[in-house]
A and B are shown apart, each in its own frame.
Chain A
Amino acid sequence: SQQGEEDPQALSIQEGENATMNCSYKTSINNLQWYRQNSGRGLVHLILIRSNEREKHSGRLRVTLDTSKKSSSLLITASRAADTASYFCAPDETDKLIFGTGTRLQVFP
């Protein structure tokens, strides 16, 4: 099994700023997914990027994938207080997601 490692572990920003979170993984993947978790709640799927894709957008989210460096990044533009949550990357190798420790994002109004 492999694990996505997120960086930074915690991030605090002001509303309107952009937030960037990075993820590194260890072996070949079919795709990589990003999830969000509000405190004490279940996970919400944000975006899936396949191994043959380099960039993907969804609303204020932008995800990049560099398979040569085994890394991905999640950019949230124009952040809002409601974006406060933990964000996890999950490399998908064999249809099994192994989550990293996550980035705790705090957006101050």
Chain B
Amino acid sequence: GAVVSQHPSWVICKSGTSVKIECRSLDFQATTMFWYRQFPKQSLMLMATSNEGSKATYEQGVEKDKFLINHASLTLSTLTVTSAHPEDSSFYICSASDRDAESYNEQFFGPGTRLTVL
């Protein structure tokens, strides 16, 4: 149980285009989803926290207009990188947790999406 999927697993796009990444919890209701980015050989940096049905809370330094997050249902959150540039190339990882569950502290991670902006 507690499986989180991401789609696509990798994407290559031209500079200036927008890219949408989906994060789905397959077998549980994710009241909260988190979005991280990770540069090579570095740690995961939390970008934002989203609760189902409400606006995402962004970490300091993360542009909310550039990284649009939607969490419209208990099983789906999307991250849209708008007007992507080469410096946005990174590994984006989502995670999900169920605050109503006994294991609410645990986050279940997706496999990640590798974004390359040319």
Q: Are B105 and A42 in contact (CB under 8 A)?
A: no
Q: Are B112 and A101 in contact (CB under 8 A)?
A: no
A36 to B49, CA, bound (A): 21
A100 to chain B, nearest CB (A): 6
Contact A40:B106 (CB < 8 A) given known A88-B43, A96-B46, A99-B43: no
A39 to B37, CA, bound (A): 14
A9 to chain B, nearest CB (A): 10
Q: Which residue of B has the minimal Cβ distance to A6?
A: B43
Q: Which residue of A has the minimal Cβ distance to B42?
A: A101
A1, A48, A96, most chain B CB atoms within 10 A: A96
**Chain B residues near A97 (CB, 8 Å)?**
34, 46, 107
**Chain B residues near A44 (CB, 8 Å)?**
109
Q: Interface residue count for A (Cβ, 8 Å)? A: 23
A99 to B95, CA, bound (A): 13
Q: Are A40 and B93 in contact (CB under 8 A)?
A: no
Q: Are B93 and A42 in contact (CB under 8 A)?
A: yes
Q: Are B108 and A45 in contact (CB under 8 A)?
A: yes
A75 within 8 A of B: no
A-side residues, CB < 8 A to B, are: 1, 30-31, 33, 35, 40-45, 48, 88, 92, 95-102, 104
The 5 closest A-B pairs by CB, nearest first: A43-B109, A42-B109, A42-B111, A99-B44, A99-B43
B-side residues, CB < 8 A to A, are: 4, 6, 32, 34, 36, 41-46, 49, 59, 91, 93, 95, 97, 99, 104-112, 114
